[in-house]
Amino acid sequence: MKKKLPVVFVLFSFVMLCRSQEPFLHLSLDGPDIDREYSLNEPIRLGEIDHLGSISLDSDFTGVRTRFPGSSDFYSKDYKGVLYEFSPLTGGNNEFSHPNASLAIKIKSPGNWQLSVSARVDGHPTVGVDQLLFKQDDQREYTPFTPSPQVIARGDPGNYHIFYDLALRIDRDDKPGQYVWQITYDIITY
């Protein structure tokens, strides 16, 4: 019997902590939607997906790749679930469009800065916050989100655009339901 795990994904938000004397520390986000607008909150819909590798069309992503971390046979003891990798097709990988990334982060800082991220998930407790993963667009390995802040980028004064990919692991025993991850970015200058 096929079990669907609908996922309504992510209200990105951030908390800005500023230790600089200058008032123009800036952080904004842009997701895979076609509006190419950076904002403080960026909802992203992953769509309805399941533990067998199928996805509905109600998603912000035109390209989704599935990988089986263990065996692809659901009945095998080596079956580890499905890893969904999300790829939008919204233009070139620059300030205004980024087809190879799920999320763009724009930073403007008067001083040295540090960006941290943390997450929480609402839904059945069988799905953990660490099942949502991210990586910089030019990297190969994904890092799981965690409830406590983890430093993901640092830089000197200036303007920056950082691009991230997202992946979601669905396990055999995850309960069907609606799940919402809230991702919080903290930026500080020093």
pLDDT of 57 strictly over 70: no
pLDDT single digits (tens) 143-174: 999 999 999 999 999 999 998 989 999 888 88
Find all residues with CB under 8 Å of 3, minimum gap 6, and list them: 50, 51, 52, 176
pLDDT of 90 strictly over 60: no
Tokens linked to 176: 């069907």
pLDDT of 22 strictly over 80: no
Would you give the distance in Å from CA 117 to the centre of its chain? 10
pLDDT at position 154 is: 96
For residue 162, the cross-strand partners are 105
pLDDT at position 92 is: 45
> Which segment of 48-52, 53-57, 77-81, 106-110 scores lowest on mean pLDDT?
53-57
pLDDT single digits (tens) 23-39: 578 888 888 777 778 88
Q: How confident is the model at residue 9 (pLDDT cuts 50, 70, 90)?
A: very low
pLDDT at position 149 is: 95
Q: How confident is the model at residue 66 (pLDDT cuts 50, 70, 90)?
A: confident
- Greatest mean pLDDT among 36-50, 61-75, 98-112, 171-185 lies in 171-185
Q: Which carries the bigger pLDDT value, residue 60 or residue 57? A: 60
**Sequential DSSP letters for 8-46:** ---EEEEEE----SSS--EEEEE-SSTT---BS-EE---
